[in-house]
Chain A
Amino acid sequence: MDRRQMTLILSDKEMELLDDLSDRRGMSKTALVRQALRLYQSVTERIEKGEKVFVEHPATKDKAELMVL
């Protein structure tokens, strides 16, 4: 697979978040950013098609719509 390199400039807080998430998700920061891009792309496509994206509480079944700014 062709791959390209880029420099990512993050604040301390953003870097801490990236470190924490990559640790919790069991993947490198690069893989985490790739996954985040795929998810953001998928959510964006669905919203652009007029679909709504919800998260649902497992017990109460309360739904909250996910908004993409």
Chain B
Amino acid sequence: MKTLLGEVVLFNRWTDRFDPAAVYQGLDSTNFRDFENLWKPELDRRAAEFGTWAEAAEGNTQDAHWDWVGKAKSEASYEAFAVECGGVTQGLMLIDLALHHARLPPHKGLDLCYIELVASAPWNRRGFSDNPKYKGTGRVLLATALSFGIDQELKGRTGLHSLPESETWYGPLGFTNCGYDEGKQLQYFEMTEAAAASFLA
């Protein structure tokens, strides 16, 4: 079931104005259709310009293979979120509260909110587009994850594995780079309770 969580604004770089947007918990056929019809063709087209997955970082398309529709439906324990603006899905996020635990002291071993997938629409990305449209989708989704985790009494503890193209984004937001995870073959980042409180302040 799709539920409106709140109203936000995204900065429209094309008009230099803030546009009203909405954050939803749960995805519906509109979001899946936007992904299949609007996101995926753009991601596939851009990804085809690069020879390897590593090179695709330059075009901000290392997530082109992510199967949002299949993934969102694969695990009932996932919580899905969407940001919509201008009648179109501008950002998507899947989080898992069941299977991951904090790695950083002083709360090592306690449950955390794990961001399984998070992405902004391709046309909002630097590197993908010379003239990206909306700014702020990623921050809105991150704030949503932190708030949802706090609501579930996880106190803001949040973890994720980052694509190489996004690694520089997480540090300034308050995530700690916990190093390379051999299992996932990606860098693992974690936000402590204190860092989450600071981000949301």
Interface residue ranges, A against B (CB under 8 Å): 1-2, 25-28, 31, 34-35, 38-39, 41-42, 45
Interface of A is mostly: helix
Contact indicator per residue, chain B 98-111, by CB within 8 Å of chain A (1) or not (0): 11000000010011
Interface residue ranges, B against A (CB under 8 Å): 3, 25, 75-77, 97-99, 107, 110-111, 151-155
Take A31-B153, A45-B76 as given contacts and tell me if A38 and B97 are in contact as well, using a CB distance cutoff of 8 Å: yes
Residue of A nearest to B97 (CB): A38
Residue of A nearest to B155 (CB): A26
Q: How far is the CA of A46 from the CA of B94 in the complex (A)?
A: 18
> What A residues does B75 contact at CB under 8 A?
42, 45
**Could you jot down 16 A-B contacts, CB within 8 Å?**
A1-B3, A1-B25, A2-B3, A25-B111, A26-B107, A26-B110, A26-B153, A26-B155, A28-B153, A31-B152, A35-B111, A38-B77, A38-B97, A39-B98, A42-B77, A45-B76
- The smallest beta-carbon distance between A16 and chain B, in angstroms, is 20
> What A residues does B98 contact at CB under 8 A?
35, 38-39, 41-42
Q: How far is the CA of A45 from the CA of B75 in the complex (A)?
A: 8
Q: How far is the CA of A38 from the CA of B114 in the complex (A)?
A: 13
Q: Are B110 and A41 in contact (CB under 8 A)?
A: no
Q: Which of B3, B107, B154 has most chain A Cβ within 10 Å?
A: B154
- The smallest beta-carbon distance between A65 and chain B, in angstroms, is 17
